[in-house]
Structure 1
Amino acid sequence: MADNEQVLLDQVLVQRQAERSAPIREDEAFELFAAEQALATRQLSSEEVADGVIGGSNDGAIDAIYVFVGGVLLSEDSDVLQDGFSAARLLRGLKLELWLVQAKRETSFTETAIDKAASALARLLSLSESEDDLLKLYSHSVVSRTGFFRKALRVLATRHPQVEIHFVYATRGRASGPNSINSKVEIKARDLEAQLAGVISGAKGRVEFLGAAELWRRANAVPSYTTELTYQENATSGNSHVALVKLRDYMSFLSDEDGQLRRHIFDWNVRDYQGDVEVNREIRSSLENPDGPEFWWLNNGVTIVCSKATAVGKTYHLDDVQVVNGLQSSHTIFNFLRSAPGTHPAFDRSILVRILVTGDDLATRDLVIRATNRQTSVPAASLRATDNIQRDIEAFFIGHDWYYDRRKNFYRNSGRSAERIVSISLLAQAVMAMGLSRPDNSRARPSSLLKRDKEYGEIFSKEIPVEVYLWLARAQKEVDAFLTSEAAGISVPDRNNYRFHLAMVATAKLVGKPVRSPKQLKVLARDNVSMSAAHLSESLVIVREEFAAQEISTGSSLDKIAKGPDFVDRLISRLG
């Protein structure tokens, strides 16, 4: 008889399938779900989770791969992976993490699964192996994703990174308690941990088992945005506050129950942690110096917005917390104090904290974000989420029961279906592919489309009717759902190479010519024209034939072809 947790887990999986416009294979659905739960604390978006799933033939018994540098997820266009990148700007001792997920719908954990992964990882994580040799043994997706780790390791070598390699093995079985994992599997897991720790001197290897109970609990957990902040002195004006907070108490505020950084409270910050830039070196230096002046004299402090703040004694109770200014200070403080002895003088220094109670007024929060970041050298692209056009799109989507996640995971953490949530990056890719006929940019530059003012202006403009944005989002979701169906016959690793080119072709066929401006899609949006399976099948024939022809004529891989402009020209020529 199945355990209650297994029954409940299966119900969650059934519900997830029901939310999809087109159900996918159960094994693939479980891989996506397991990867999401394995990295639950990282608060990845649905698109980021899906991008890391690489299951298929020659996958080395690995179903999903993710690499983080300093807590930031790497993608193909991340700076650290580009040729010529200098690691000098990065902080010494930065954490480099590799997360590997193996997901099986079975109700047990087996030795064979670990043995296969261990054998593959011995080669995939070796810096002495050539990529050409690896590609003869494993799929392009596996080699490419593990390649993020290999390249980052080389680039960061002079900065002496903290290396952690996590292997998460998920099934629908029991991971703890009686009749769970047998001793042989546990021994193999310890062997794999030792192997992963041996990738480089000082590395840490960890094998984690997730069974039905663990997966179900994680799926039902909601990250808390309610927390406490103990202060020393404060001043109050209206319902907002300024407080001096000991760094040991601020460290507690930043830490979750496992002692890890509560990254989700920085989701609304305008930029990621910048590493070993001058300002962070200065912050760290002021922490290191035991005879230096009070910390808050040298630091601008942090700004917190929340919906409610109540002071009891010397402790604030804060609801819906977001740190909107002070991410660099917060990360540097956290990283320094985590490794410092508890007697270090820095623990008793103070930081200035502004607590602004904005209620549920998102527009006011946006004004605060812009105002508190205007004094520093923040790139304009970093403030995109606060633009009026972004708020207009969000409001229009909500009116049609869709959710524009201009604030990462805001709607996901509110319990909305992932199938109706659209991130800024996905919408930008959809506009670039279908509205501007540049799917190669959508494929090759997933995280950097919004960094250049010129491209941002092309993608997000008041001249484009807001209903066109909703049509583009729905159309891209329809394309993605079609590619996951058995009718499409596209393998998991290849879908990312097809999705934006197929979207471009299918849209051009609906319009009757290649699309050069999103404004050309006004009629499709007005008439609510959908991407039917039949239409997408016809369009897929064109894309598939041209991919095959381009592979023969160039000898390049599908991945390389999809990222280049030549193939786009070929498709447009085919469309006439």
Structure 2
Amino acid sequence: MIKELIDNEIKSFIELNNLKLKDFSTEFEYFSAKNVLKGNNFTINDLANGIVDGGGDEGIDSIYCIIDEDILDQSNSSFDDIYSLLNKSSIVRVIIIQSKAETGFKEKVVNGIKRGIECIFDKDFDLSNEKFKKQAKMIRNLYFAHNKKGCKEKITLEMYYCTKANNKDNALNNDRVVREKNNVCKYVENQYMKPKFEFLGCNELLDICKKPVKYRKTLKNLKKFDYPKRKDNIVEGCICLVNVKEYLEFITDDNKVIEDKIFEENIRDYQGNSKDVNKAIIQTIRTDCEKFWCMNNGITIIAYDVDPLENEVSMSNYQIVNGCQTSYAIYETLKEIDEEELDKLDFELVVKIIEIKKDEEGNWDEDLVLNIIKSTNSQIEIKDFAFESNRPIHKRIEQYFKMLEKPLYYERKPQFYERRGYAKSRILNPKELFKAYYSIYYKEASVVRNNVSMYFEKNKDKVFNTNINLEYYGISYIIYNTVSNKLIELKGNENYESDKIINFIINNGLLHISRVVFSLLNGGDLKLTNLKRSDVTKCVNPNVYNEIFSDNLQIEDVMDVAIQIIKSAILEVNKDKQDSLERIMKVSLLDDTITKKLVKYHEEKTDTQISLELPTKYILSRLQRHVRNYDEIFKNISKNGDKRYYFKNRLNDYIYFLNMYSKQLALNLNDLITLLKDIRAIVNENNRESRIDCAKEILNTNDTIRKRLLKANV
């Protein structure tokens, strides 16, 4: 799915810019270059001018020269032009990109980048690619002009190798690729430049896509008190008193609408005007605004590239990490006031600005940022879920769910989507996803149900990390949500109320049923190591996978079996009949017992039959429905043969249902069940054509089963 996300991003980029490119490889080159250059001042024309791919490109697809965020082009590429653009404090970068729409990183490609750089600095080398030749000459002119100007900082030569591998670990775990990368960097150092080499896979490119474009704004007319500088120089900052009108302008766009993007790192969305704390803020603004600065906790902003002047502070890509409620309350109270009335307002609020330095790769210290967010939000109790959901993996999950054919909305911040009018049925949150994922893949529904908060804190890194294929989140939640909807239909159904255990499972066993339903649908549990596999369909039954993501998941066929297996496990755990059902549903022994019964079920399909104690007519109607469902399944198989193990699993399930229901109805279907078992033996041995014939024979058997059901005296 991560590759599909990238493909969608590429498609959107191409369509948005109305680009007509010859093939996907070229589209990927442009897309990679666009992301590498993000944050610099460039146009689509600049992007195109830097593409040198073609015959004689010497292993390099794109070349860009940048002076202080401005890209050089051929109109100012001479030595004299470049020299005039430089000053001694200039930051100079040369960017070289190689893009391959492949699923891995290769040693020979890294070696090709080194060969291309060597050609650039060998002015006697005969370059056949005219575009490459011009860009190479510009680099040499930049190199000599930079030396002559006496710039303080070395030129940084940035090299990016972009592919459709899941992530850069594909390269970093390959010793030969890493060795070639080190050789390239050593060569660049020998040219008296600072090397930077990055591997960018789908995860890294997606992260860049979602980073906001650089924005800058200034808080004006303020009273400022600077913090003393620390020796480690990691954080600096100041505390300000800011006039409310200036602050309102700071948090709104040109159309006077509040900017959502500056609250991305805030752990909560605006909670609305009805919350007591927000009512109090609004009341203070309206009736006692002179005391606002001392009655409100104020605003905390983190930013990089902060430029403090005497009575104003300019900053880039800032985030308000504490004060979302205050900011929105100010906006909601003052947005309808006209300019004349606004000018009469004369009160201030406290703003703390923290500048966080970036590392050599241009990244914030994420742990430091999270600690600041946590500390500045500690004045009221906030659950760990809120802080956890600010990690990058949750932003990636949020985007993933939005990209589904029928989008779901992952609410990292409470009520974020609900307040914006999205259907409640399409919204999920980190807590729900954690429960579904942990119950299904770690097979510990009981312990999660017992204390989800404790298990979240203890196991969040197992569940939420960037090594996991995003599709596994989708699979677990869609199954959980589908089971949840079916249980709503069953709750209060009089046919189930007579069985105390089953009634309890239906009302309290969502996690257990989800865990068992996945195993039944898939024909077995997943190994945890498979959660990192890029090809999900090698681990999850492809037909089930397709049903899940086409929003056409049918689980009625396995819900009864799931409930039976759980009931059987409960009876075994509570054979002494001394514990309450509530307690049993929370003990790990129940999880272990369910797993053992599932293993036996998958191996033999002879698990002890547990009567559902349902009315006979209801059981008959369910059996008739199963026959109809499996008619559809085997009609489809009769057209294409399908994969052997899928055929076998569905036939196993069908035999199990027929056996279970016929015994409960005292209906003799033994001869037909034996016939289906004989067909199953043939399926295990033969090829696709034989499976098609077998499916047709099953359909004929179904006709006989239907006739007997019509005659059944029940």
- TM-score per shorter chain, which class? 0.3 to 0.5
Structure of larger gyration radius: 2
Q: Which has the higher helix share?
A: 2
Q: Which structure has more RCO (C-alpha within 8 Å, separation ≥ 6)? A: 1
